């Protein structure tokens, strides 16, 4: 059974993005294991003089490195990813590279009709940056609009069209994860490229 790390891009306990990941955790429990993490334990990113990262970041990096893939559920604030998620990704690329060559699936839920489309586009740019170098699941937007009414009292998605779409996406992600493991040369290059980023001369 594959093991994924699920990252909600907010630490709000009533987040519909957290609810979406919790639904997936239960709905696919017989096929994959999804471990949810809390970004609220991480400090705001800053460049440490000795290039060290906080213990909380190191622990999260270890979990990501050991996982088969990562699922990120991002909210959308002002057409962008939340500051907490952006800060966490900066830590996870600061002289460490757990996401380099790691298969990543992006999903999102929002109160409005667009379902985090702009935030997902920005998140793709971040994950594709030289500092991160993740393997992004292609052509895989999954967005839940009007998310306050998208779940029943048991936390299940009520729109069966969305459920069917998510089922197919998870099946494809399973295949994508297996495919990336065979790209040994590309994986090695991604990790090397991420490790070679010169943080000393990046803009402050």
pTM above 0.85, yes or no: yes
Please state which CATH class domain 2-201 belongs to.
alpha beta
C-beta of residue 26 within 8 angstroms of C-beta of residue 56: no
Look up residue 144 and give its two tokens: 């839940």
Q: At 185, which helix (H) or strand (E)?
A: helix 184-195
Look up residue 166 and give its two tokens: 């998510």
Please give the DSSP secondary-structure letter assigned to residue 193. H
Per-residue pLDDT of the chain (204 residues; tens, 9 = 90+): 999 999 999 988 889 999 999 999 999 999 999 999 999 999 999 999 999 999 999 999 999 999 999 999 999 888 899 999 999 999 999 999 999 999 999 999 988 877 788 999 999 999 999 999 999 998 888 999 899 898 999 999 999 999 999 999 999 999 999 999 887 666 667 677 666 676 665 554
Residue 1: the pLDDT is 95
Residue 187: the pLDDT is 64
Please give the DSSP secondary-structure letter assigned to residue 201. G
Instruction: Annotate 159-186 with b (16+ C-beta within 10 A) or e (fewer).
Output: eeebeeebeebbeebbebbeebeeeeee
- Enumerate the domain spans of the chain: 2-201
Residue 203: the pLDDT is 56
């Amino acid at each position: 059974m594959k093991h994924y790390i699920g990252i909600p891009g907010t630490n709000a306990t009533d987040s519909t993005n957290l609810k979406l990941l919790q639904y997936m955790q239960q709905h696919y429990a017989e096929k994959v294991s999804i471990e949810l993490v809390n970004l609220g334990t991480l400090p705001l990113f800053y460049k440490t003089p000795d290039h060290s990262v906080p213990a909380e970041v190191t622990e999260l990096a270890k979990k990501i490195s050991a996982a088969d893939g990562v699922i990120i559920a991002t909210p959308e604030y002002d057409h962008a990813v939340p500051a907490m998620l952006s800060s966490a990704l900066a830590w996870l690329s600061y002289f460490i590279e757990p996401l380099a060559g790691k298969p990543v699936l992006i999903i999102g839920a929002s109160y409005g009709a667009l379902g985090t489309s702009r935030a997902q586009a920005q998140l793709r740019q971040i994950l594709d940056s030289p500092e991160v170098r993740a393997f992004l699941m292609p052509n895989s937007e999954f967005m839940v609009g009007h998310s306050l009414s998208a779940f029943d009292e048991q936390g299940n998605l009520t729109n069966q069209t969305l459920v069917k779409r998510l089922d197919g996406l998870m099946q494809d992600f399973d295949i994508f994860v297996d495919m990336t493991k065979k790209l040994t040369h590309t994986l090695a290059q991604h990790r090397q490229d991420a490790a070679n980023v010169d943080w000393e001369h990046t803009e402050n």
